[in-house]
Structure 1
């Protein structure tokens, strides 16, 4: 094996181990477990969850503002993100 293929194999093993570990519990369980640590871990919310629960830090940044042109989210004021992003990269 070449060093590059060994690295790729190790990466795949690590990915499988992490996937197995993180799928073993519900997101809310992980959120609770990480809350008691100093680890930098935040749950990934679905758009509807994030926009409806509107965590204070996101509401302050106007991260989920609707407009007639864009019924989904738009970039916060002052952001350099495009107002109408293209399709997701593959």
Structure 2
């Protein structure tokens, strides 16, 4: 278990929103799954990206993860 700050490459399109560049994410490991929380600049507004990484592959070396290649279940919420 631990908490890491890790650069993560986001897919260019998610849930109809354009994503540009890299987002810095905080990775929180739990016994059952890895939870990823990211901040991304999407269409000029700050949005938080929350979700679980849907894989158990040795944390897919998340110190430099590319989420375009990792099955994920993600949702967006706007940061006020």
State if a TM-score over 0.5 links the two structures: no
Which interval holds the TM-score relative to the shorter structure? under 0.3
What TM-score results when the alignment is normalised by the length of structure 1? 0.20
- Indicate the structure with greater strand content: 2
What TM-score results when the alignment is normalised by the length of structure 2? 0.21
Answer with 1 or 2: which has the greater Rg: 1
- Indicate the structure with greater helix content: 1
